[in-house]
Chain A
Amino acid sequence: MQRFITRRLALTLLVLWGTATIAFVLARVVPSDPAARWVGPRATLEQVEQARKELGLDQPLYVQYYRYMRGLLRGDWGVSIRTHQPVIQDMLGHLPASLELVLASMILALLVGIPLGVASAIKKDRAVDHLGRVLSIGAVSLPPFWLAMILQLVFFKWLGLLPLGRRLETAVRLAHPLREITGLYSLDALVTGNWPVLWDSLLHLALPAVTLASYTIGVVTRMTRSSLLEVLNEDYIRAARSYGLPERVVVLRYALKNAIAPTVTVLALCLAYSLVGTFVIEAVFAWPGLGYYMAQSVIAVDYTAIIGCTVLVAAAYALLNLGVDIVHALLDPRISLG
């Protein structure tokens, strides 16, 4: 197990190096002058030249590449052209909001998707199955911005139950100051026992989390259903029934443990994708997450921020896949990690 993780981590570094290189090259071939953007529209030619020197853009490409890579390794990911802040600091500032949203939507996807998938498989071709099919195909095919606005219309405008956007109500935040530990407001509030903030943050989380979860719920439901149906046809399931074991043990223990692996895989992929793939949802709900940050960086051709986000996402994918492989090995003893 240890050898496997070490080897996979080494492989991950290789992937990250490749990603950083490709991102570096792509950011350089885009027809845009970072130095001009750095000093702003009203700068003189001298100021632009000065900025070019400061940013190291006057050096040959391989020197720039060398400096960039050295910086990545040392934790200096460059300074954002747009915000003039270190990229690392910018990303760490936006990460907790993203993580809170993504984790909430994953928990939602697990709590809804897996039971719905199991129910659809057991009651194949019955009402639950049809309902599950309609729900999941709908959830996968609805455009998130549309779903987001419909939810806002219903729950904010008509019912007045949930807030329109943002992470906390300013009044609540001022009345009950939150001691930030992780930056995930709901989690911090829970840990520090700050109940008004916890409630308010959950209210704010509800709509964006549901919007983000809808796609994952659809995929998880269908995946769990098909995988479970396949396993339910296995010899050992018939054998377990022949021993007189109750259906609940047969399905939820014997079958599900064998059927859940593909679900874990898609869940991890959805999670990694959601980290930055959510800028539409973040924009609609004014949610200051990584996706929003990256979208703004792209518009501003902020190449240091773009490379930074790209490397971060690649790292998230690589680590989540490593996690998936470990979970697979825990689920199925026939997989040996070596």
Chain B
Amino acid sequence: MVSEPLLSIRNLRVQLSTDRGLVHAVDLSHLTVGRGETCGLVGETGCGKTMTGLSILGLLPTSAPGTVEGEIWFRGRDLLKRGPAEMRRIRGREISMIFQDPVSSLNPAFTVGEQLARVIRWHRRVGSRAARQAALDMCSLVRLPDPEQVLRRYPHQLSGGMCQRIGIAIALALRPHLLIADEPTTSLDVTIQAQILRLIADLQDRLGTAVLLISHDLGVVAQVCDRVAVMYAGDVVEQGATARVLARPLHPYTQGLLASLPSRGASGRPLPAIPGTVPSLIHPPPGCRFHPRCSLAAPRCSRERPRPRAVGPEQEVACHARGPHEGGDRPDASG
């Protein structure tokens, strides 16, 4: 983080009012994504990863009215202070998104070609022929075989992998600075997953797009991300260079998450699990949200929210039990 980062989220609080009560979906102290880098945002289902992604685009669900506070700085502007018209210009053109379910994210009533061409026509103000040519170019960029044929198809006639390639083509058609990829491979077969991940990584190299990769899968994040941010119950508890965080996790939650991954060396033994369950975001625990499940919990943890602190040059952790002096130590990860 030498120069100013592309995206910098500070004190983002997202609250949604639902039938069951006010959900404190996101309470994120800070998260950054640098130019051209791939940042992984990992955590369990329901910890606020997708909500964070949608808040960047200003697209929180209309079904649950809510409030968004804080700052989301992107290329020198606070996105939370932009009007709807300006956000519409930013969406698709500067920041775009690909989604977990590629088939249902495409409109079933239009051919994929129409959908791809419409986005290009709208943003670039070009005619239908130019848009069609650009759509064909995008298809070859995302390595879709036989683009002429594919563009004439409807989403239900294509496989999940092909739909995700179309989704990527639409998202990258305007060469955005930032791509938010929300579990882009979760609903795909394992072999297709690897292809799509490789495609995203490859396109990122060629186009210089930064990627915020939202995933619950540490394996995926380890494969492609430069940096990783671990999210728990609405906040980032630890972030830093992927190699460093995965090799030397400092937050007890990150340690638990890594320990519960099946590894080749530890076959035969049952996998350790983090005790307890994910807290309700309607009544989140006071202080550190992880303290009810934490083996290192002290009285202070249930009173005071830990602030993120730098431990070493490329790692940050929000935990009372971890001080800056621990940056170099190998912590006890037997948990």
Contacts from A to B (Cβ < 8 Å): 232-236, 238-246, 249, 254, 257-258, 331-334
Contacts and interface: CB of A to CB of B under 8 A. Distances in A.
B101 A235 contact: yes
B71 to A, nearest CB: 21
Contact of A242 (B89, B97, B106, B156): B97
Contact of A238 (B59, B90, B154, B174): B59
Given A242-B59, A244-B93, A249-B122, A235 B109 contact: no
B91 A241 contact: yes
Contact of B57 (A232, A242, A254): A242
Contact of B109 (A232, A243, A246, A332): A332
Contact of B108 (A244, A245, A333): A333
27 contacts: A233-B62, A233-B63, A234-B104, A235-B105, A236-B108, A238-B99, A239-B97, A239-B105, A239-B106, A239-B167, A242-B91, A242-B96, A243-B170, A244-B89, A244-B90, A244-B91, A244-B96, A245-B119, A249-B122, A254-B110, A257-B109, A257-B110, A258-B109, A331-B109, A334-B108, A334-B154, A334-B156
Interface string B80-94: 000000001111110
Nearest to A257: B109
Given A235-B99, A242-B92, 8 more contacts: A234-B104, A235-B105, A236-B107, A236-B108, A243-B92, A244-B96, A244-B119, A246-B122
Interface string B142-171: 000000000000101000000000010011
A240 B107 contact: yes
B107 A254 contact: yes
Nearest to A332: B109
B63 A243 contact: no
A258 B92 contact: no
A192 to B, nearest CB: 40
A234 B106 CA distance: 10
Nearest to A330: B109
Contacts of B63: 233
Interface of B: 54, 57, 59, 61-63, 88-93, 96-97, 99, 101, 104-110, 118-119, 122-123, 154, 156, 167, 170-171, 174
Contact of A243 (B61, B119, B154): B119
A243 B106 CA distance: 12
A45 B52 CA distance: 92
B276 to A, nearest CB: 32
B109 A245 contact: no
Nearest to A236: B107
Contact of A232 (B62, B92, B123, B170): B62
Contact of B171 (A234, A243, A257): A243
A244 B99 CA distance: 15
B122 A244 contact: yes
Contact of B91 (A243, A249, A332, A333): A243
Contacts of B97: 239, 242
A241 B104 CA distance: 14
B108 A241 contact: no
Contact of A244 (B61, B105, B123): B123
A258 B96 contact: no
A5 B41 CA distance: 53
Most B CB contacts (10 A, CB to CB) among A232, A236, A257, A331 go to A236
A245 B57 contact: no
Given A242-B96, A244-B91, A236 B104 contact: yes
A316 B61 CA distance: 43
Most B CB contacts (10 A, CB to CB) among A235, A240, A242, A257 go to A242
Nearest to B60: A238
B83 to A, nearest CB: 13
A333 B105 contact: no
A8 B176 CA distance: 50
A334 B107 CA distance: 11
Contacts of B110: 254, 257
A156 to B, nearest CB: 46
Nearest to A244: B92
A125 to B, nearest CB: 10
Contact of A239 (B61, B99, B174): B99
A133 to B, nearest CB: 19
Task: Please give me the 4 A-B residue pairs with the lowest Cβ-Cβ distance, nearest first.
Answer: A244-B92, A244-B91, A243-B92, A239-B105
Contact of A236 (B61, B89, B106, B174): B106
A226 to B, nearest CB: 14
Contacts of A245: 92, 118-119, 122
B57 A333 contact: no
A256 to B, nearest CB: 10
B154 A333 contact: yes
Contacts of A258: 107-109
A331 B109 CA distance: 7
Contacts of B107: 236, 240, 254, 258
A333 B156 contact: yes
Nearest to B88: A244
B285 to A, nearest CB: 31
Contacts of A243: 91-92, 96, 119, 170-171
Contacts of B61: 233, 238
Contacts of B90: 244
Nearest to A245: B122
Contact of A241 (B59, B109, B156): B59
Contacts of B108: 236, 258, 332-334
A233 B64 CA distance: 11
